Amino acid sequence: MDGLKTDRAGALRGPSEAGRLLPAGVSVRRPFLPPAEMMRVLRALDALSNSWAPSQEMGLLGRGGTLQVRPGGVVVTSSLDTIRNTLAGPVLHWVRACGFAVPAKPFLAIFPVRMLGDPHTPTYQEPHTDSYAGIPHPPVCTSVFYARVRDMQGGDFAVADLDDAELRSPHFITPSTNALVTIPGERVHWVEPITAGERICVVLNYF
């Protein structure tokens, strides 16, 4: 388990890049999906190859080579349904096991994000908490499933403590393929600059 420790809820908690334990409420599980389910998600993501659009053009927080999926069309709808149906149940089971009080009938917002590194104009994501139109509060928790991480330089997932308004002492988690990172929904988080490689993740927010 590469030095990961398990808390009483079964959540894997490991050292950050600075050698510190991750804060309470933050969990990492690797690997997350069994091989068959993993391949199902990858096939659905590959079917979206012509549907990625720059995140910034969509008014979202990704910068540089950050891409997200424009909704609409049979292929997009079918692929996103496959991703949702494959991930929603296992992730819900996991976050509840980690102690998050997800409602009995939660609302799930789910979206894929592709990030392509560039040494001249690094790709990154601004600090933020996730939200959804019409819902006045953050999600119970935010989970990031890393479906593909290839030859990536940089790109650590950063999460701040609740009392760190200046974002001076974040915790860093290095992504890897088939890993799931879950944080409390009110935690500010972001993606460090990526100078090379590719990563595709799926973000799941339970409200």
Q: Is residue 6 part of a domain?
A: no
For 5, the 3-state DSSP assignment is strand
Count of domains in the chain? 1
93 and 65 Cβ atoms separated by less than 8 Å: no
Residue 21, pLDDT score? 64
Selection from 194, 195, 47 nearest residue 112 by Cα: 47
Q: Is residue 120 part of a domain?
A: yes
At a CB cut-off of 8 Å and minimum separation 6, what does 99 contact? 9, 11, 25
Q: Is residue 83 part of a domain?
A: yes
Q: Is residue 2 part of a domain?
A: no
For 189, the 3-state DSSP assignment is strand
Residue 25, pLDDT score? 85
Residue 24, pLDDT score? 75
State the CATH number of the domain containing residue 108: 2.60.120.620
Q: Is residue 160 part of a domain?
A: yes
What is the rounded distance in angstroms from the CA atom of residue 26 to the CA atom of residue 153?
A: 23
- Helices and strands (DSSP H and E) totals, the chain: 2, 13
Q: What is the CA radius of gyration of the chain?
A: 16
Full residue range of the structural domain in which residue 19 is found = 12-206
Entry pTM: 0.89
Q: Is residue 131 part of a domain?
A: yes
Q: Is residue 98 part of a domain?
A: yes
The list of the chain residues with pLDDT below 70 reads 1-21
Type of residue at 92: L
Q: Is residue 123 part of a domain?
A: yes
Q: Can you give the length of the chain in residues?
A: 207
How many other C-beta atoms can be found within 10 angstroms of the C-beta atom of residue 67? 22
DSSP 57-71: GGT-SEESSEEEEPP
